[in-house]
Structure 1
Amino acid sequence: MVRALETTSEDAWLDELEPRQHRARLSDRLQGRLARPVHMGRRGKAFLETTPGKLIAMMVVLTMSLLAAGMSMSQSMSMRNQSLDTVLNATEPMSAAAHLLSTSLLRADTIAAGSFVQAGPLSEEDMRTYTAAIDQAASSASEIYKGAVEADSATSDRIEELVVNIQRDLPVYSALNARAQVNQRMGNPVGVAYMSQASGIMRTRMLDAAQEVNDLTRQDVADEMRRLSQPQWFTLSGLLAALAFLGLAQWWLWLTFRRRLNRGFLAATLAVVVAVTWAGVSNFQSWRSGSVDYERAAQPWEELTAARIDALETRTDETFALLRRETVSHSIRDFEDTYASVAGAAGTAQGYGMSQPLIDDTRTHLNAWSNEHAELVSALNTGSYDQAAALLGSRGASGGEASFRGLDAKLAELIASSRESTRLYIAESLDATRRVSAAVALLSLLAVVAIWWGIRRRLGEYL
């Protein structure tokens, strides 16, 4: 029994000894593997405490800071350049197409309703104008959809949805108007019902969608220009930090070697100063053209486009007031608002130095339309519907239609001129960012080459 216990105790002691020996071997193995890295780290630390080590460490830090600052600014400028190019070629044309979509739909609806004012089918001129308006609306909707896909903004999905709805309703609207024209030629009173149904689709669905598209696209352009015109403080601060590092490095070199300023470091400093100045001037020009000047130029464009839409809507209201034999008390208030809108837009255009003869013609047509609207109101209130129809008639060079078409044409010219101004400022902002990306990257590389060229003699003293 005693021998058995001794054997068990002796076996137990051997079992405990074996794991302890295993752990010791694992520790020794780890120490062996880490010995070389630790040794290299100590040698590296000792080398960095020497003057050559400090020189090389300083050069590595300077190289990384110069490359990081230069490449960051270059990439930032490149991305801004691409974004401004998208605004110029996609977002802004989409906004202009949205205005054309609204005005084309309104013009088509006005002509379609006006065809029932007088007996007989539409004249060839009115038929061409109506067809051109429908075609313009279809092409504008396609251009807006394409621009929304290319711009890929936060509102693109909503714009695409609205445009698809308009494209879906446009054939229905055209078909109802075609059926209305056929019934009018046959003398069937149901033609007015078809025209009213088509106009209901236009006013309750298509025009509301077009107006929302107009607002969204206009806001997209303004937001993008405001965002892309902000100074690039972060990337500029990186270049300034690299410039400060260069100054500190030269001061340390002077304290260490007591020699005159290093030519390579002076050349690198000059290159960084040029890069900072170029980028700073570019940022200022971009801010000036893309924010301040653009907002000034966009104001008359926005007021003129809104005034033109108001005028077209008011003209359609006049036509429906005659067709429905309604009182025009509500239309009078709308006309006064429209008159104020158009007059205010003309005043804003004049304040921004746009063509004075064009503004004078706009005011002349507006006053003529105002006088003829007063005659229309009087004729409708007295039941003189033939006189009202003559005032709204589209045939001949006289009458309310002539003055209104003249006003619409002048507003279209003012809008085109104003749009050219806004595109000019976008293009100037884009020009300010061109070539800056490549220039900053090149200057950063030149600065790196210059500092290594300038330090070669100091390093050669220790070889």
Structure 2
Amino acid sequence: MSSSAPQLDDEWLDALEGAPQQRTPWQVVQDTFTGPARWARRISVFAATTPGQIIAMMLVLTLSLAAAGFSMSQSMASRQRALDTLITSTEPMANSAHLLYSSLSQADTVSTTSFVQPGLLTQEQLGTYLASIDRAAVTAGDILEGTVATVGSSFGSAAPSGQDADAVRAEISSLVTEILRDLPMYTAIMERAKVNQRMGNPVGIAYMTEASSVMREQMLKNAEDLSSLTQDEVAAEVQRLSSPQWVPLSGLVAALVFLIIAQWWLWRAFRRRLNKGFIAATAAIIVAICWVGVSNFQSWQNGVVGFERAAEPWQRLADSRIDAQESRTDETLALLSRQSVSRSSQSFELTYLHVTQALDATEELGGPTISEATVASARQALEDWASAHQELVSALSDGRFEHAINLLNATEGADGRPGSAAAFRQLEDDLQELINQTRENTRVHINASLDATRLVSGAVAGLSAFAVVCIWIGIRRRLGEYM
């Protein structure tokens, strides 16, 4: 066939496909980013126009309002949950720790005193002793449950001495476990002491001293550490949850500043009166800021100022009651050992000072719920006990041990005033009543802080959403001018 033969129209169908064209890396990059670059150029050109600037401004305002509202709403909701945990778990756990401490001390006081009275324990004394032991075991279980209940909550987030939540919980559990481990040993030794006392064996005193040593050197020390730790935790949590929310609040303030700048720009761009939608949005954000500010101030007022004033007499009363019980035990041990009462006298003088200061603080800071009659009764009982204690010291110094025993167990003195036993029992009852009253005062302040946070989370979220809707409604007519 001649090479000059005409080529048919469909000859390309029979031709083999040629090799694909080789593309350079630069061509691949150009093909990949050509589309996005084209869109970026179009957006930048549109953003330079007035409608583009309006839409960019609206997006910034929407994001800032939504972010500020969401942040504050979440912060308030988290604070409310933490306060609820504080009032339902952390504070009751701290009260249980104090109750454990006082119950152990009371049990030791009752059981020790029984060794210097004629005959066996009375039915009332036996009931008090058994109730104290039972209450100590129950409250120890409550503390462990409270530790578990606070897992995953804010417990320990403001732990004292820089400890974290796990370290605080581990220390609390360790202290409670040690107390529960020593409790059966104490009761067993004390029961052996009582059995020997009933049989008239002098070794009963040795068993009693050993049991009291276990209580005072191990159990009460651990209980004191436990009470201090949980009280510090409550105070730290209250202070943390009552501090102003500066970061979320600054977000709302920044959103308000953006709104004001946007209205100024609209006025400069359109020379129109203020936009009604933006004014409504500004008013909504101002209301949200004021609401949060008032809530923060109320939380600070109740949680820091009010709680500290209410917690001081509670702590002093709790400590002074423990001091009184230990002084009563010192009186008994001094009588049983037939030794010098100088240590007991010094302990009593310090106890007298602590109780007096606690009653003074209760009258000054306790609040309107404190019963003045109970305070007066406690002061009188303290004076009666002090008078009986002086007679006891005098009798022991003179070696009149039988008379000292009568003085220690007397319910009525020779001058008609209450005796040592009656005065101490009245003082202990009055202090416990005042402790309950001051504890209610501390819970009132925590509840007030909790009430200050109610509805704030939902209100801030709603006001922020309302502000976003208002700015878009307000800008609609300005955008319509370019359509």
Alpha-carbon separation, structure 2, partners of 1:364 and 1:390: 21
**Structure 1 residue aligned with 2:300:** 287
Select the residue among 239, 243, 266 that pairs with 1:253: 266
Once the 2 structures are TM-superposed, how far is the Cα of residue 148 of structure 1 from its aligned partner? Answer: 2.5
| Contact 2:388/2:407 (<8 A) preserved | yes
1:380 aligns with 2:367: no
Select the residue among 312, 325, 329 that pairs with 2:338: 325
**Structure 2 residue aligned with 1:359:** 375
**Partner-residue secondary structure (3-state), 1:317:** helix
**Structure 2 residue aligned with 1:435:** 455
Alpha-carbon separation, structure 1, partners of 2:24 and 2:360: 93
Select the residue among 282, 295, 315 that pairs with 2:328: 315
1:263 aligns with 2:276: yes
Count of aligned positions: 442
Aligned partner letter, 2:83: L
Alpha-carbon separation, structure 1, partners of 2:411 and 2:136: 24
**Structure 2 residue aligned with 1:400:** 420
Once the 2 structures are TM-superposed, how far is the Cα of residue 187 of structure 1 from its aligned partner? Answer: 2.1
Q: CA RMSD in A?
A: 1.5
1:224 aligns with 2:240: no
1:172 aligns with 2:208: no
**Structure 1 residue aligned with 2:171:** 158
Once the 2 structures are TM-superposed, how far is the Cα of residue 119 of structure 1 from its aligned partner? Answer: 3.5
1:420 aligns with 2:440: yes
Once the 2 structures are TM-superposed, how far is the Cα of residue 328 of structure 1 from its aligned partner? Answer: 0.2
Alpha-carbon separation, structure 1, partners of 2:139 and 2:395: 38
Greater share of helix: 1
| Contact 2:282/2:467 (<8 A) preserved | yes
Q: Percent identity?
A: 53
| Contact 2:374/2:434 (<8 A) preserved | yes
Once the 2 structures are TM-superposed, how far is the Cα of residue 310 of structure 1 from its aligned partner? Answer: 0.7
Alpha-carbon separation, structure 2, partners of 1:198 and 1:418: 33
**Partner-residue secondary structure (3-state), 1:116:** helix
Normalised to the residue count of structure 1, the TM-score between the two structures is 0.93
Once the 2 structures are TM-superposed, how far is the Cα of residue 97 of structure 1 from its aligned partner? Answer: 1.3
Alpha-carbon separation, structure 2, partners of 1:171 and 1:248: 73
Gapped regions of structure 2 (runs ≥ 5) = 1-20, 157-163
Alpha-carbon separation, structure 1, partners of 2:298 and 2:170: 33
| Contact 1:180/1:192 (<8 A) preserved | yes
**Partner-residue secondary structure (3-state), 2:116:** coil
Aligned partner letter, 1:40: W
**Structure 2 residue aligned with 1:297:** 310
| Contact 2:90/2:234 (<8 A) preserved | yes
More displaced stretch, 63-72 vs 397-406 = 397-406
**Structure 2 residue aligned with 1:451:** 471
**Partner-residue secondary structure (3-state), 2:101:** helix
**Partner-residue secondary structure (3-state), 2:115:** coil
| Contact 2:411/2:420 (<8 A) preserved | no
- Structure 1 residues 117-175: Cα deviation after superposition (integer angstroms, max 9, x where no partner): 12422111111000000011111211222223333423222111101110111111111
**Partner-residue secondary structure (3-state), 2:140:** helix
Normalised to the residue count of structure 2, the TM-score between the two structures is 0.89
1:55 aligns with 2:54: yes
- Structure 1 residues 37-96: Cα deviation after superposition (integer angstroms, max 9, x where no partner): 111110111111111111111111000000110111111111111111111111211121
Alpha-carbon separation, structure 2, partners of 1:330 and 1:118: 22
Gapped regions of structure 1 (runs ≥ 5) = 1-20
After superposition, residues 50-199 of structure 1 pair within 5 angstroms as 50-151=49-150, 152-153=155-156, 154=164, 155-199=168-212
